Each structure stands twice: as structure tokens, then as C-alpha cells.
Amino acid sequence: MTPQQDAPRDTTRPFFDGLSLSLLAMGVVMFVIMAVQQHVRREAADRQTFVAAAARDLRFDLASAHLAVEEYGQGDPGIDPAQDVDSRYAHALRLLDQLTDESSDGGAAALLDPLIADRIGKLGTQVGELRDLARLRVSQGTRAPRDATLDRQFDNLLRVTSLESQAIAESLNASAVRAGERLDTIEVIVDAIVAVLFIAGAILVARQRRAHRDEYQRLESRAEGTARDAAVREARARALLNSSIDAIVTANAGGEIVGCNPAAERLFGYTEAEMLGRQVREFTGEPYRSLPPERFAEYYQRALASPRGVSEIVAGRRKDGREMVLDMSLSAVTSGDEATFMAILRDIGDRVAAEQRFQ
């Protein structure tokens, strides 16, 4: 009687059983990481939106209060000092407090480094001093002789607070961008781990017979994944531009439009093809539309001269002839001897009208 031969022992089973458990554990960890990542991304987006709105409102409050003080000093009977001056400064101070309030769910404290927080605190003190000087100017009345010393103090402090508020707004936006870049890095790592899991699963199915071929496929897939990641990043950048709620228009040094996003098409009522090649001045309202080319070009020169660009309220004109009140941020990007200008525009007509009705 021939003795039975023992069945061949599968020495690979313990290895692949352990690999299966490892893959399962990694999958659970990946799910948790992705859930946390989505939560952090939403929270960072909300904070960045709050910072952008607070920065715009702060500059608007300071400019509006200054205009009200000047018009009251010139005898404008429609100016209410308590409403048009005190309330503007009070709102600006509340915005500064909210930016550094760590207990606020929508605040920006998580985006601040100690230096920016200290600058915001000093700006709050300066705005308080500016409010006190404004009250002194208003208290002089419309007929009393102007105090030249007080006027100089007020104008100097106004200039300092305007520059500082602009610098802080840009620092906050830069902090928000850096936070977004850190999240993008985490996302790339997550994508890489998912790719590794896919490759490991393929190796698990093929077993040892396909080990060499699967190793080749893994290396080839990694190279393809790198190219795919680059394409995804480029597509993401285009998607961010196209999905922006703000109108974005780019022009060359001659003032000719070379690009715009869908929000700009909706804002002005033109298609991108209709806007390309035309002068930026054609899409502005009066008095900008009637300015000579050399006067209009001064905006570009100011944007080139200032690393922070130019930010102000301008008039725009739609295709149907309707004029708009636009909040514009104009910046310049230079490459060699050539400069490209990017304008970020938002229609604030409803807000201005509401404020006028409230006044």
C-alpha cells in the first residue's frame, strides 16, 4: 500500500492573510482621514470667506466715516454724525474684535500668527483714536473755523489706519491661502496612499506567480499617477478660477482684455469672446469711461508701483447700458519686461443702495 503524500503546504497564506488585515486597517484609517480632511476644508473655507468679507467691510467703514466727516464739515445737512460717523467706527472696531475672538465659530483666530494678531490689536487702538479725532472735528460744527492742527492729526491717522488695514487684510488672506495649501498637501498624500492600496490589492489577487509582472505594473502606475496628479492640480486651478463668485478680468499693459472668467461674463453681460481684445475702459461707467487713455493708464502704473496693488470703488457698465458700483482690487504680475494686470470685481450696488435707504 502506497502511503498518501501530504498536500503541499501553502506558505504564502499567512503572509497574504496579514496583508489583508493591514489593507483593511489602512482603509479604515483612510476613511477617517478623508472625513477629517473634508471637515477641516469646509471650516477653513468658511473662515477665509469671513476674513475676506471683514477686510472689505473694514475698509468700507473707514472710508465711509471719513467721507461723512468731510461732508459734515462742508455743511451737508443730510449727515447724521451719530449714524454716519460713530456707527461706522463702532462697526469697524467690532470687526477687529471678531477677527481675534477665539471663541467665535466663524472668526479668523485660527488663521492668525502672533504678529498679525498684535497688528490687529494696534489697529484697533488707532481706529479708536481716529474715532475720537473725528468726534472733535464734528463737534466744531459746520460754521466754526477749522482747526488746522486737528485736521493734520486726523488726516495722518486716517492714512496710517488705511495702509495698516490693507496690509492686515492681505496678511490674513495669505494665511488662509497657506492653510489651503497645507490641505492640498494632505490630499495629495491621501491620493498616493489610495494608489498604493490599489496596487497592493492587485498583488494580493495575482499571488506569487504574478509578483514580477505586478511590480512592473506598480512602477508604471506610479509614473502615470504622477502625471495624473499634475493634470488634476492644473484642472483644480482652472476650476477655482471658473467657480469664483467674483468676476476676474486680466489685461495686458495696453489695457486690452486677454482673459476673463464666467463670473465676469455674468457681471458685464458679454461672452468671453466679445470681451477679449477690447479695452478695459469700454466696460467702465462715468467718469472713468471718458478719461483719456493716459489718465486711465495711471491705474496700471499704481498697481505696478504698489506690491499690494490698488483697491477702490469704481463704476462699471453692463452690455445693456446699466451702470454698476464695483469693488475692485487691481494687481500686477510681471514677467521680464511684460506686465499682466488682474482685476477682481464684485457688484456692491445692492449694499450701497441698502445703506443709502438706511441713512
User: Which comes out higher in pLDDT, residue 247 or 78?
Assistant: 247
Residue limits of CATH 1.20.120.230 in the chain: 38-180
**Main-chain phi, psi angles of 8, to 5 degrees:** -60, 135
38-180: which CATH topology?
Answer: Four Helix Bundle (Hemerythrin (Met), subunit A) (1.20.120)
Is residue 144's pLDDT more than 60? no
**pTM, whole model, 2 decimals?**
0.37
Q: For residue 34, how far is the Cα from the chain centroid?
A: 24
Is residue 153's pLDDT more than 90? no
CATH 3.30.450.20 fits 244-358, yes or no: yes
Q: For residue 295, how far is the Cα from the chain centroid?
A: 29
From edge to edge, which strands make up the β-sheet containing 338-347? 257-260, 247-252, 338-347, 323-335, 310-317
Q: What is the pLDDT of residue 290?
A: 84
User: Which comes out higher in pLDDT, residue 334 or 17?
Assistant: 334
The C-alpha atoms of residue 52 and residue 170 are separated, in whole angstroms, by 9
**Cell numbers 445693456 label which residue?**
320
User: DSSP label at 7?
Assistant: P
Cβ-Cβ contacts under 8 Å for 331 (sequence gap 6 or more): 303, 308, 309, 310, 341, 342
Give the mean model confidence (pLDDT) for residues 231-257.
84
**Cell numbers 479604515 label which residue?**
28
Q: CA torsion, points 97, 98, 102, 104, in degrees to nearest 10? A: 150
Give the mean model confidence (pLDDT) for residues 250-266.
92
Range of lowest pLDDT (32-36, 153-157, 207-211, 218-222): 207-211
Give the mean model confidence (pLDDT) for residues 272-277.
94
Residue limits of CATH 3.30.450.20 in the chain: 244-358
User: Which comes out higher in pLDDT, residue 55 or 150?
Assistant: 55
The C-alpha atoms of residue 277 and residue 283 are separated, in whole angstroms, by 12
User: Which comes out higher in pLDDT, residue 26 or 245?
Assistant: 245
Tell how many helices (H) and how many strands (E) occur in the chain.
Answer: 9, 5
Label residue 197 by pLDDT band (50, 70, 90). low
